[in-house]
């Protein structure tokens, strides 16, 4: 995690510059969330593939009896993905509000 303890306050910057800096940071956070969501999707897909392979091997051994494998990891991935999706939406809304505040009527 980044440590901003030594960072000078934004109050010393021009309002436009600080707004641009904040907007850039929000876009960076959104991009990191997108990466995390892709990693979760990839993990879920690989877990699904492994479960299907294991089921196919086991059903072949048992004489083609259909077996359902319950995956206890997928709900956690889905919950994490939903939380990240909500966070991304909130960050996008914050970015929109910031851009609106930069254009006075």
Cα dihedral: 69, 75, 76, 78 (round 10) = 120
Q: What is the pTM of this model?
A: 0.63
Rounded to whole angstroms, the Cα distance separating 93 from 100 reads 10
Q: Is the pLDDT of residue 33 over 90?
A: yes
Average pLDDT over the chain, rounded to an integer = 77
Rounded to whole angstroms, the Cα distance separating 12 from 62 reads 72
Q: pLDDT tens digits for 66-101?
A: 655 556 777 888 899 999 999 999 999 999 999 887
């Amino acid at each position: 995690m980044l440590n901003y303890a030594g960072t000078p306050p934004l109050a010393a910057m021009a309002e436009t510059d600080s707004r641009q800096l904040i907007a850039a940071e929000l876009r960076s956070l959104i991009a990191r969330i997108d990466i995390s969501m892709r990693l979760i999707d990839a993990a879920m897909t690989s877990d699904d593939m492994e479960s299907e392979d294991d089921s196919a091997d086991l059903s072949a051994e048992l004489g083609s009896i259909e077996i359902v494998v319950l995956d206890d990891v997928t709900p956690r991935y889905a919950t994490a993905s939903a939380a990240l999706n909500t966070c991304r939406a909130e960050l996008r809304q914050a970015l929109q509000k910031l851009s609106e505040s930069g254009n006075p009527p």
